[in-house]
Amino acid sequence: MNGQKRADIFIGAAVRIVRKADQPTGRLTEGTVMRILTNSSFHPHGIKVMLVDGQVGRVQQIVERPSDAGGPVASPAED
């Protein structure tokens, strides 16, 4: 996924962003979404987010982690 649709991004998602300072080089920074800053449902340059470490940038890629792929997440058994 390319990060242009707000619906594809959620708090806790692993993403790669391009920070404003890195736009000329296109250098990507990987992190976890803490806040979604773009209010619109779509942005052609990527949805702006803040990572848990405080860095802000536009999502270029959504990273799929092994735990994200596949079926439902098992919940702990109740006794």
Instruction: Please say whether the beta carbons of 31 and 52 come within 8 A.
Output: yes
Q: What is the pLDDT along the chain (79 residues), one digit of tens a residue?
A: 789 999 999 999 999 999 999 999 999 999 999 999 999 999 999 999 999 999 999 999 999 866 544 444 444 555 4
Count of other CB atoms within 10 angstroms of residue 5? 15
Pick the CATH number of 6-62 from 2.40.128, 2.30.30, 2.30.230, 3.30.1380: 2.30.30
Q: Which two tokens stand for residue 54?
A: 């405080």
Q: What is the DSSP letter of 9?
A: -
Instruction: Please say whether the beta carbons of 74 and 51 come within 8 A.
Output: no
Tell me the sheet residues that pair with 62. Answer: 15
Instruction: Please say whether the beta carbons of 2 and 60 come within 8 A.
Output: yes
